[in-house]
Structure 1
Amino acid sequence: MERLVELAERLGLSNYEAKVYVALLVYGPLSSTELAEKSEVPQPRIYDVAKSLMDKGLIMVQHGRPKKFSAVNPSVALRNYVQRRYESQLQALEELLGSVPEEAVEDEVGLWISRGYESMANLIEDSVRSAKVELLLAVPSRMARKLVPLIRESISTCAVLFDSEELVEDVLSKFDEVRLRPTKAPIMVMPDFSYMLVVVEWDGERPVAYKVTDKNLVKMLAVYYLNYLRGEGEAISVKFRQLKRRAYVHLTRALDHLRQVEGEVMVTVKGSWVRSREPVMLRGKLVRISENLLRSMGSLVLRLEDGREVTVGGIGAHLEDIEAREILIEVEAPT
């Protein structure tokens, strides 16, 4: 009975309710005295517990001498109780979420820490769902497989896998890039450039998740991801040639895409002018990719509609004309 009581509690019954209800399911109709004995619930509590179970539609009473209690068919009553409880909780959830202003859940700049598997799973899911332009992942293959249903096809994605144990077709088909980098590195999730989620001890009993919102730290972690994890990972699947339209936050991946395409390319850039820091959004034809071997970086040269040429660098650019925060690539079919 102990296991049944535990299951009933998981369905939302209190400990006394679960004990009384399970006793009626196991032994059939019982008097209050019998019920107290079988359930090990104090007899003075039997009637108020029974009333609570009747209010939930789970049991019925027979008035006589002695008064007896019996469970309503659990296939109907218990299932309906769970359904009503679920619907009530869902309604409360929607009302609560609808009452919370978005700015109230925005994180201040800093380092936020959470511990435990559930916290890790929630933070990873939230990070994946929040990506609007580009999502970077470094995860074990089993986790990549679990995240597949959450990945939107409209965003740019890169998954660096620590192993190939569950490197299956649905993982390969969902991500723009899949790279294999056997390592015990932390799990990393970066939605756009908004923050970096880092999880250490992820294969232990109590993983620790760090949500990094300080932009300087995010920039350092992005370099680690792009240069060490992605840069040294073995390319398993790369779809740049097939992608005719993709947006990127990180110039490194945009450059890799452009190096593999054929035909005329139009690029739309959102960012700021390096000198004035004024925001800018412009669209131009790709003229060339400029490589700087000393800096191990590249930049774009675009020709605008008025004939001017501008140079575009990535986040932190200071030598180019524009620091790009979002780069949209549109490839036209070669004639």
Structure 2
Amino acid sequence: MTDELHATLEGVGERFDLGEYEIEAYLAVLEHGELTASEIADRTEIPQPRVYDTVRSLSDRGLVELRESRPMKIVAVDPEDAFGNVKQSLEDLISELEARYTAPARDTEAVSLVKSRSTILRYVEEIIESAEYELVLSLTPDLLRRFRDDLAAKVDAGVSVDLLVTPQSHAPDPEEFDYLEVATVARARRGITTPVLAVADGNYSIYATQDALRDDRDRYGVIFNRSALGFLVSGFFGTVLWTTAETLAADGKRRPFPRRYASIRRAVKDVRELEGPFYASVTGRDVETGDPVVVEGEVQTTRFEDSEEVASLNLETDDGVLEIGGLVAAFEDVEAQEILLGRDGIPDRERF
């Protein structure tokens, strides 16, 4: 570290290194504009013998002026003048420190536990930003407003957004809030115990209690850092939360084909809700052997339960009809990890 930078850091630190007595005296003088030492003692808990040392310390920092009269008067300096040079020093200091900053490597652990509200919000923002084609979220109304612009940008970019707002009683009125600006489908769910969560493209995800976002330090958030374990959060969202919510707005026909999916449920719902024919290219694993596979063909039939616990596609492939299930599928032939769905023929995977 250069001597100049070291000196700047010391100077900024000294200006803000105020003790309790100095803070009390400074705020009292600021409020009244001008006080005597005796008046400061009367208005604060500073002992009379300590007042003079305290105000002289404030004077040395340029925060007050001492007018030698009988009695001596302590006059507040305009904060714009008192801190003007510090403001510039801080801006210069930040620029120089940023030039020296080396960003730490991203935590590569599959699962991380965080308790800081600001950290949870940062991860939610990052997950929204990282979504390339599919995003599911459970947000409070306050968080919906906070991330409104970010979600609108994702919708404009063609990302499929399933948005759950909770509690329902506090959700914006659809007559007054344009949900289709920020979501492909929006629902609302009763209950303040509904967690806050976000999943990008089926893997990078966060799960947090609503209490954790009220600055309750005993609560927590769990990050699945671009891990396949994200399907746990996505599955919980799709089968437990989403199915027990009321639809606010839906416009599934807006997104063009071909479409890319991390969720078998969303792919099946689109096939069932829109007119075919449909063709699919599926990247996944053979359920029996676990070997990676890519299967392609025309969608013949679908299987879907209202509870959304069961969802699958039957594809007519060169090897016959194969049943495609979601992550951790057991009864189907193939576990789908990524699905490309087209309407005019099998999608060209190289374009994605």
TM-score by length of 2: 0.66
How far is the alpha carbon of 1:302 from its aligned partner?
6.5
Question: Does the Cα contact within 8 Å between 1:120 and 1:199 map onto a contact in 2?
Answer: no
The 8 Å contact of residues 302 and 309 in structure 1, kept in 2 or not, is answered as: yes
Between the aligned partners of 1:28 and 1:201, the Cα distance in structure 2 is 43
1:179 positional shift: 1.5
Give 1:44 deviation, angstroms.
2.5
Please tell me the residue identity of whatever aligns with 1:198: A
Aligned ranges 1:35-184 → 2 under 5 Å: 41=46, 42=50, 43-52=52-61, 54=62, 58-59=63-64, 70-74=75-79, 76-77=80-81, 80=84, 83-84=87-88, 87=91, 91=95, 98-103=102-107, 106-109=108-111, 112=113, 114=115, 119-120=116-117, 122-131=119-128, 132-133=131-132, 134-151=134-151, 152-153=154-155, 154=157, 155-161=159-165, 162-168=167-173, 169-184=177-192
Question: In structure 1, the residue corresponding to 2:247 is in which secondary structure?
Answer: strand
CA distance 1:265–1:124, change in 2 (3 Å): farther
2:245 aligned partner: 233
Runs of 5+ consecutive residues of structure 1 not aligned to the other structure: 1-10
Distance 1:216 1:102, change over 3 A: closer
Alpha-carbon displacement from aligned partner over 1:256-314 (angstroms, at most 9, x marks no partner): 123223356554544445455455567x5643343277x8321252658xx98765432
Match of 1:301 among 315, 319, 324: 315
- Per the alignment, do residues 96 and 312 of structure 1 end up closer, same or farther by CA in structure 2, a change over 3 Å counting? farther
Q: Deviations over 1:235-259 (max 9, x none)?
A: 2212211111543322112221232
Mind listing any 5+ residue stretches in structure 2 that lack a counterpart?
1-14, 346-352
Q: Hey, what's the Cα distance between the residues in 2 that align with 1:289 and 1:86?
A: 64
3-state SS, counterpart of residue 323 of structure 1: strand
Counterpart of 1:297, as a letter, is A
Question: What corresponds to 2:4 in structure 1?
Answer: none
Q: What corresponds to 2:262 in structure 1? A: 249
The number of residues matched between the two structures is 307
Distance 1:158 1:92, change over 3 A: farther
**Distance of aligned partners of 1:70 and 1:201 in 2 relative to their CA distance in 1, 3 Å threshold:** closer
Percent identity at matched positions?
A: 19
Distance 1:140 1:102, change over 3 A: closer
CA distance in 2, matches of 1:93, 1:323: 49
Check 1:229–1:40 CA distance in 2 against 1; reply closer, same or farther (3 A cut): closer
Residue deviations 1:11-49, cap 9 Å, x none? 967334433433443444567777677666522343333
Q: Hey, what's the Cα distance between the residues in 2 that align with 1:139 and 1:221?
A: 14
TM-score (normalised: structure 1) = 0.68
Q: Does 1:223 align with 2:235?
A: yes
Asked if the contact 2:314–2:321 (Cα under 8 Å) also holds between the matched residues in 1, the reply is no
Residue equivalent to 2:209 = 199
Indicate if the aligned counterparts of 2:135 and 2:199 stay in contact, CA closer than 8 A: yes
- Secondary structure of the residue that 2:30 maps to in structure 1? helix
RMSD: 4.5
Contact preservation (8 Å) 2:285, 2:293: yes
1:65–1:292 distance in 2 versus 1, CA, 3 Å: closer
Q: How far does the alpha carbon of each residue in 1:187-214 deviate from its partner, in whole angstroms, 9 at most, with x for none?
A: 1313232344031557978372341649
